[in-house]
Amino acid sequence: MFFCDDTPVVHAAAYPDPSMAPPLFMYCKNDTALGIVFPDWTFWGWPEVNIRPWAPFLEEVEREIRRVPWLDREPYAFWKGNPDVGGLRTDLMRCNGSHNSKVDWNARLVRQDWEDADRNGFKDSNLAKQCTYRYKIYVQGRTWSVSQKYILACGSPMLRIDTPFHDFFSRGLVAGKHYLPIDSDCMCPSIKSAVDWGNAQPVQAQRMGEEGSSFARDELSMDYVYDYMLHQLTQYARLLRYRVTVRPEERHRALPGVHGMPCIWPCW
């Protein structure tokens, strides 16, 4: 069974014996949750908001990286999104260079106006075209955010604001190699310090951006994504002790899945 919302719902505290927990596939978890993390839908595109499938996006972003070399990018940390879905994003907006502050925290933050973006078909939401800043900020939404892989792909060091949530690949990221950690309790000074460091150490900063984009391109290739999916499903299938069937009254909720297997979507 797949849970397609953001927030983990199988809590470890409710299952002293983890083997008794329901085997729920989901997009993220934290240390207090049980579940099987699985790739999210955006790897196959999100056409409603003008996001291409992952493979063609990587090809496009490679062209953008060559078009705007790292040293030619704006020497600030950039983020664009909806700040109303989580407290950390609200806090982040206080670090904006245009905010009423005597200090420039080296952050350039843009609120995504979803109604306006929807009216113009999300033409200004091409993520590959947002690789024009030397640093990109990752901040969780309600829990995790699909944006992390797109930020990594830009070739700009990712400033990753501390989060307890992880998706299926983020535990493979190494602080100081693929990203710079940002203290969520001291967000604005931490962002400013990271940007100041990178601008003073351009060789090291550019190398970190390249490591991040290499991770996105190589470790998150669609071949590896499918390998991971197959591994998880195969391991899960080995634990099954019953024959999977679709009850007649549930057939209206059965969708054609991979190789004709039914996909049952829960009503939460």
Residues 92 and 152 in one domain: yes
Among all chains, which residue has been given the structure tokens 């830009």? 154
Domain match, 205 and 95 both: yes
Is 6 part of a structural domain of the chain? no
Provide the residue range defining the domain that includes 17: 12-38+222-264
pLDDT tens digits, residue range 128-187?
999 999 999 999 999 999 999 999 999 999 999 999 999 999 999 999 999 999 999 999
Backbone angles phi and psi of 157, in degrees to 5? -55, 135
Query: 99 and 17: one domain?
Result: no
| 75 in any annotated domain | yes
**Phi-psi bin for 204: left (phi > 0), alpha (psi -120 to 50), beta?**
alpha
Residues 21 and 34 in one domain: yes
Condensed to tens digits (0 to 9), the pLDDT of residues 174-220 reads 999 999 999 999 999 999 999 999 999 999 999 999 999 999 999 99
Is 186 found in the same domain as 68? Answer: yes
Sequence-ordered strand ranges (E) for 16-175: 25-26, 36-37, 74-81, 107-111, 133-138, 158-161
- Alpha-carbon Rg for the chain, nearest whole angstrom, is 20
Same structural domain, 168 and 229: no
Q: Are residues 79 and 106 in the same domain?
A: yes
Identify whether 4 is part of a domain: no
Please give the span between the terminal C-alpha atoms of the chain, in angstroms, as a whole number. 12
**Do residue 190 and residue 63 come from a single domain?**
yes
Percent of the chain with pLDDT over 90: 74
Cβ atoms of 158 and 180 closer than 8 Å: yes
User: 21 lies in a domain?
Assistant: yes
Report yes or no on 3 lying in a domain: no
pTM to 2 decimal places: 0.88
Residue 136 near residue 191, CB atoms below 8 Å:
no
Asked if residue 228 and residue 210 are part of one domain, the reply reads no
Same domain, 68 and 133: yes
Answer whether residue 250 shows pLDDT above 50.
yes
Give yes or no: residues 107 and 56 share one domain.
Answer: yes
Claim to verify: residue 75 and residue 170 sit in the same structural domain: yes
More reliable by pLDDT, 255 or 4: 4
pLDDT at 251: 65
For 52-56, what is the mean pLDDT? 97
> Which pair of tokens denotes residue 109?
């933050």
Q: Give domain status of residue 172, yes or no.
A: yes
In a domain, residue 87? The reply is yes
**Domain of residue 101, CATH code:** 3.40.50.2000
Tell me: the pLDDT tens digits for 70-89?
Answer: 999 999 999 999 999 989 99
The string of pLDDT tens digits covering residues 237-247 is: 888 887 778 78
Contact by Cβ (8 Å): 144, 185: no
| Residue 152 in tokens | 């990594």
Q: How many domains does the chain have?
A: 2
In a domain, 1, yes or no: no
